[in-house]
């Protein structure tokens, strides 16, 4: 990105313009600036004077920003409908990923443990790898989705309200989810596999699900907090 456009870049993102449109717009402006600068230099101006004249011909920062901000089709969806992008979309994505994880659990149960009452038993061989993929999807999905929320919020320079809603929601759902798999105890669900959501209690009477949710929340907040700290550091430099 050309240095003269750094302020414009930040202004467009804060105004809600999608990053891909910002990149394309600034690339086009940069190419146009090069052409204008070359034209000014051919007319006999020095490089510094040509740069200033080219920027003046290109237009003021307010006008350049206004040309993009006023066009709604360039607005990012996380700005147009933040309630959907930071609540519904993450839950739908988590649901789809968990369905895939439970499908792996069910199919692995059929393949490797056809006579077992539950797949939550000691395993060996290829079963470790097969079930491991499902565990990775199941336990990793809330964290990866949370990281995605933080990265999107940082890229779009969003305030913390809606990203925080999404992170707390994903952490709560991920922390309270419980999977049950038993031929004798589970009479419905995906082939004797079911899922519910409960805080549960530990031996000391403290909700175990709450601890799990707080752990997920602390991990998922890392990208967004890192960006906020970096931004604060730059402001004080």
Mean pLDDT for 210-227 is: 86
Distances (CA, A) of 184 to 109, 178, 191, 193, 215: 14, 17, 11, 11, 33
| Ranges of each domain in the chain | 3-74, 77-235
Instruction: Dump the DSSP string for 113-163.
Output: -TT-S-S-S---THHHHHHHHHHHHHHHHHHHHHHHHHHHHHHTT--SHHH
Local confidence band at 156 (pLDDT 50, 70, 90 cut-offs): confident
Tell me the per-residue pLDDT of 24-41, one tens digit each, with 9 for 90 and over: 999 888 888 888 888 888
Q: What are phi and psi of 75, to 5 degrees?
A: -75, 140
pTM of the model: 0.81
> How large is the average pLDDT for residues 198-218?
82
Gap between the Cα atoms of 229 and 104, Å rounded:
39
What proportion of the chain, given as a percentage, has pLDDT over 70? 92
Q: Output the pLDDT for position 175.
A: 92
> Is the model more confident about 224 or about 75?
75
Mean pLDDT of the chain: 86
Q: What is the pLDDT of residue 101?
A: 96
């Amino acid at each position: 990105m050309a240095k003269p456009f750094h302020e414009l870049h930040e202004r467009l993102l804060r105004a809600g313009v999608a990053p891909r449109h910002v990149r394309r717009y600034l690339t086009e402006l940069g190419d146009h600036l090069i052409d204008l600068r070359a034209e000014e230099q051919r007319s006999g101006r020095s490089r510094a004077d040509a740069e200033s004249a080219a920027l003046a011909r290109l237009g003021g920062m307010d006008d350049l920003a206004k040309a993009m901000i006023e066009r709604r089709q360039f607005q990012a969806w996380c700005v147009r409908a933040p309630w959907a992008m930071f609540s519904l979309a993450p839950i739908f994505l988590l649901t789809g990923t968990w369905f895939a994880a439970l499908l792996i659990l069910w199919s692995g149960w059929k393949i490797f443990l056809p006579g077992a009452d539950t797949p939550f038993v000691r395993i060996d061989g290829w079963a470790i790898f097969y079930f491991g993929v499902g565990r990775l999807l199941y336990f990793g999905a809330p964290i990866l989705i949370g990281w995605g929320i933080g990265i999107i919020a940082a890229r779009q320079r969003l305030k913390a309200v809606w990203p925080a809603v999404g992170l707390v929601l994903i952490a709560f759902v991920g922390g309270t989810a419980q999977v049950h798999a038993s031929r004798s105890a589970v009479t419905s669900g995906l082939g004797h596999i079911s899922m519910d959501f409960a805080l549960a209690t530990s031996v000391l009477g403290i909700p175990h699900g709450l601890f799990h949710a707080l752990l997920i929340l602390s991990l998922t907040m890392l990208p967004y907090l890192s960006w906020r700290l970096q931004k604060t550091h730059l402001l004080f430099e």
